[in-house]
Amino acid sequence: MHDDVGQLLWIGFEGTSVAPELRGRLERGEAGATIVFKRNLAIAGAGGDERCDLAALVELNQALHRRAPDGTPAWIAVDQEGGRVQRVKAPATVWPAMDRHDQLPAAAALQLAGEVGEAMGGELAALGFDIDFAPVLDVHTNPANPIIGDRAFGRDAEAVGDRALAFADGLRRAGIVACGKHFPGHGDTATDSHLELPRIDHDWARLEQVELAPFRAAAARALPMLMTAHVVFAALDPNRPATLSHLVITGLLRDRLGYRGIVISDDLDMRAIVDHIGVDAAAVAAIRAGCDVLLLCRDPGHQELAREALIRGAERDSELRRRIAESAHRVRQLKQTIEAERTPRPGLDVVGSAPHQALAARLRGGPGPSSRGGAAPA
């Protein structure tokens, strides 16, 4: 049971090296993956002259690649979308925001999305990453949205789905696992779930036509991972955010849309969760709802609270124990599949290479949509 719970907990950490305590947790199988943020990168310079120490990052990722006692690898994830959500920047390629696809003809945008995904994935693979928490599948329909904005692939639901999934195919070709986000759609919120709990009051017809369309396409294409949104959708479940709702995760995503991949919660350290229910209760509720993986990106105390709550709950409740085992099996199965298919990682010479810089320049192009969101998530 302890090993199964460990596969469900994907964690952030402090510092630019692997502390003995973190290494021990990974080697004991107490965490299934780590998430690298800007705070974990060795950065020189300031402002526009910041440079990431790529050799130090490779060394960090090598140290993070531990294995649990049963041999299951601990993976490494990163948010590398392009634009303002891009943890690894220069001398890696600095990618423009994905809404730049909206400036291109439809066929050119679709082709470029795949090329960008493959190039970005190649750089991540060379640096030692396994997962990119991208693409964004949200449709940018609200100019006042403080958190999505230019992170979206556009304003039209069908175009967003096509471009985002082409990008995900590119990541896959490069050996990186894609994770689409934020189900069932964060594009029309007016508040930031890092700070408070947003609510969307659209009716079912609107949700089906706009918000859900890219996720339906992702389910049909068997995208390996989807991340949830800490957003209340009144037409789906007026009482619980999607991450914690059995109606949304199991009833809609699993049963109605037929999704069979891994469902990942957004960060349970976000105030949309912490201020309303607490991390320990949220961890149990998210697994009961149908999530497979819980992100706990910053607070080690929260990580331990979540772990203890799942273990204690499973000891008392056979249904929770079954759900934990089911999700752990799903995570291990994907890891085994990807590890078996993995090809040698490219060399560091692909990172920031001239062809990738030219590709970024093509996407950057001329003037694009003017609407931008707020500050990038931490």
pLDDT tens digits, residue range 336-368? 999 999 999 999 999 999 999 999 999 998 433
**87-93 average pLDDT score:** 97
Q: Is the pLDDT of residue 234 over 50?
A: yes
Alpha-carbon span 269 to 37, nearest angstrom = 14
Active-site hit among 4, 79, 266, 280? 266
DSSP letter for each residue of 258-283: ---SEEEPPPTTSHHHHTTT-HHHHH
Confidence class for position 369, pLDDT limits 50, 70, 90: very low
Identify the pLDDT of residue 290.
98
Burial label, 371 (beta-carbon count in 10 A; 0-12, 13-18, 19+) = middle
Any residues with CB less than 8 A from the CB of 24 and at least 6 apart, and which? none
The band of 233, judged by pLDDT with boundaries at 50, 70 and 90, is very high
How many angstroms separate the CA atoms of 189 and 296, rounded?
A: 23
CA 105, CA 328: separation in Å to the nearest integer?
Answer: 43
Q: Which pLDDT score, from 0 to 100, does residue 143 have?
A: 83
Tokens 């990052």 -> residue: 57
**What is the number of other CB atoms lying within 10 angstroms of the CB of residue 367?**
7
Q: What pLDDT does residue 192 have?
A: 57
Is-catalytic flag, 186? no
Q: What is the mean pLDDT of the chain?
A: 92
> What pLDDT does residue 375 have?
38
Residue 153: both structure tokens together: 């692939």
Mean pLDDT of 199-224: 95
Concerning whether 201 is annotated as a catalytic residue, the answer is no
Of 161, 327, 336, nearest to 250 by C-alpha is 327
What is the pLDDT confidence band of residue 45, given thresholds at 50, 70 and 90? Answer: confident
What per-residue confidence (pLDDT) applies to 47? Answer: 72
Q: What percent of the chain has pLDDT over 90?
A: 84
- Given a contact cutoff of 8 angstroms between Cβ atoms, the answer to whether 95 and 86 are in contact is yes
- What residues contact residue 99 under an 8 Å CB cut-off, 6+ apart? 83, 140, 149, 150, 151, 152, 153, 154, 368, 369
- Number of helical H runs and strand E runs in the chain: 13, 14
Catalytic residue among 101, 140, 186, 194: 194
Model-level pTM?
A: 0.93
Model confidence pLDDT, tens digit, residues 290-327: 999 999 999 999 999 999 999 999 999 999 999 999 99
- The DSSP call for residue 74 is P
**For residue 194, what pLDDT band results from cuts at 50, 70 and 90?**
low
